[in-house]
Structure 1
Amino acid sequence: MRRHRVEAETHLSLRRVVLVGSIWITSLTVMLAMALLMQDPVPWLSVRLNLVAAGVSFGAVLLGWRRHWRLASNVLVWGTWTAAVTVVAATGGVQSGSVLAFPALLVMCAWVLGVRTTLVMLVLSVLTMAGFWVAGREGVDWIGQRETSPVFSMLYFVGMLGLTGTVTLMARRSLIRRAQELQDTLGALEQHQDDLRKFYRAVEQNPESIVITDVHQNIVYVNEAFLQRTGFARNEVLGQPTHRYSTMGLDAPAWEEALHQLGRGALWRGQMTNRTRQGEDLPEAVLVAPIRASDGSIVNYVELKQDLSERMRAERQIHALAHFDALTGLPNRLSLTQRLRALAREFREGGKGGEPRHGLLLLDMDRFTAFNDVRGTVRGDALLGALALRLADALPDGVLLARMGADEFAVLLEKAGHEAAEVDQHMRALAQVLQDALERPLWLEETGEEVQASCSIGAASFAASRTDSGGHDVLRRAGVALHQAKQAGLGQVVIFQPDMAEAVGKRFRIEKDLRRGIPAGELQPYLQSQVDRMGRCVGAEVLVRWNHPRLGMVEPGDFIAVAEESDLIVQLGDWMLEQACRMLVRPEFVQHGWRLSVNVSWRQFRQPDVVNKLKRILATTGADPRRLTLEVTESVVMRDVDEARERMTELQLLGVEMGLDDFGTGYSSLAYLQRLPFRELKIDKSFVQDCHASPGNAAMVEAILLMARRLHLRVVAEGVETEEQAGTLRAWNQDVLFQGYHYGRPLPAAEWVDLQVGAAGV
Structure 2
Amino acid sequence: MIYGPNKPKSTNRLLIQTVWPFLLIIIVLLGATLFSLKIMTAVRAYVAGESLYSKAQKQAHISLINYLHSKSNEDYEEFLTQINIPLGDMKARIALQQAEPDLKTAYEGFVQGRNHSTDIPNMIFLFRYFSETPLMKEPIEIWTDADQYVIQTLVLGKEIHHKLSSKRLSINEETEFIWKLDSINADITPLEEAFSFSLAKTSHQIDLIISNLLVGITLFLMALGLIFSHRLTVQRSVALKQLQREAEKNLAFLRSASDGIHILDAQGNIQEASDSFCEMLGYSRDQIMGMNVTQWDVFFDPQELLGMLKEYSYQNERLQFETVHQRKDGSLLDIELSLVPVEQDEKRLIFCSSRDISERKQHDQQVERLAYHDQLTGLPNRLLFEDFLNKSLATSKRYHDFGAVLFIDLDKFKNINDVYGHSMGDELLKKVAQRLSSRLRKTDTVSRIAGDEFVALLPSLSTDQNKAAIAAMSIAEELRVALAEPINIDQHNCQITASIGVSVFPKDSENFNEILQEADIAMYRAKQNGRNTLIFFEHEMHDRITERFTLEQELRNALQNDELELYLQSQVDKEGTMIGAECLVRWMHPTKGLIPPDDFIPLAEETGQVVKIGEWVLSKACQTLSQLPFAASAFSLSVNISAQHFQQAGFIDFVKQVLAESGADPRHLILEITESLLIQQPQKVIADMQTLADLGIRFSIDDFGTGYSSLSYLKRMPLNELKIDKSFVNDIPDDANDSALIQTILAMAHHLGYTVVAEGVETQTQHNFLASLGCELYQGYLFHKPQPYQEWLNNIASLKPNKANQKSPD
Rg comparison, structure with higher value: 1
TM-score under structure 1 length normalisation: 0.42
Q: TM-score, normalised by structure 2?
A: 0.39
